[in-house]
Amino acid sequence: MAFLSGLSAFPITPSDRGGHVDTAALKRLVTRLCTAGVDSIGLLGSTGTYMYLSREERRRALSVAIDETGASIPVVVGVGALRTDEAVRLAQDAKASGAAAGLLAAVSYAPLTEDEVFEHFSTVARESGLPIVIYDNPGTTHFRFTANLVERLAHVPGIVAIKNPTEKPEEISSHLAQQRSMTPKGFPIGYSGDWSAAEAMICGADTWYSVLAGILPDVCLRMVRAAQNGDVEEARRLDATLSPIWDLFKQFSSLRTVYTIADLLGVSKAEPPRPILPLPALAKEKVAHCLTLLEQDLA
């Protein structure tokens, strides 16, 4: 799965208060990513608020993205759901629409066991025929993939890659080495957690699954290319330039922050789906100031 490398950009999914996707705004977001030349687009991830959208609206969003990208940029689409049969149908929808892969999290209400997660993932991969990326996101699912479970799933036909969280940058190197030792050769290992992504890529991770790249792809792409080319100094310099953004992510959450950035840039006026509230005025001013400083630094 060569397309699961480099920068995977995760945009928001603009919608109204009734949960109807703003296709014009989504098209503008996807166009930005295509123009920048990101390696893949992560549609309907957590930043894309997939769990807040109906099956019909997910299909509408995916149709917009596929139409806009054509065959130029692969689309990896979130197919997570509480029920296995529902996740299968979402993955089948994604395959029929032309998605390159599905991003599957261990979404639940009742806490899940490892065997339950294994069966859930195996069934979705088998019955949908869509390549599946393991989405380990304990911050939202409250389920953490153990090394043993990752090893089991990585050998299931149709499960093709993993998106890991990055909680402790100093542990990325050892974590990556451990996963490489237990997954098949060529199994792409990537990381989210934007403020640790530079170190992950420097350590040799295949992919940065990025929230910020969904709205500011150019600087994120520069950082990835620097890391891929072995220019550690430049990758870290760009990461340091983005540190005010990382601070905003930590203070307000990446989701609320990127909705505000999209608004400030005039790309989308949508608010996050309720009950998530948009940032208050003072916080929005802080994001605007940060954007101004970032523009000056990058210039």
* Structure tokens, 299: 């210039």
Token duo for residue 19: 């949960």
Residue entry with tokens 């006026």:
269
Please check if 47 is assigned to a binding site.
yes
The one catalytic residue in 50, 135, 209, 259 is 135
Contact 140, 46 (CB under 8 A): yes
CA distances from 101 to 1, 76, 95 (A): 9, 5, 8
- Catalytic residue selected from 163, 209, 259, 286: 163
Is there a catalytic annotation at residue 163?
yes
Q: Which residues pair with 171 in a beta bridge?
A: none
Secondary structure (DSSP) of 175-232 = HHHHHHHHS-TT--EEE--GGGHHHHHHTT-SEEEESGGGT-HHHHHHHHHHHHTT-H
**Per the annotation, where are the binding residues?**
47
Active centre residues (catalytic): 135, 163
**Per the annotation, where are the binding residues for pyruvate?**
47
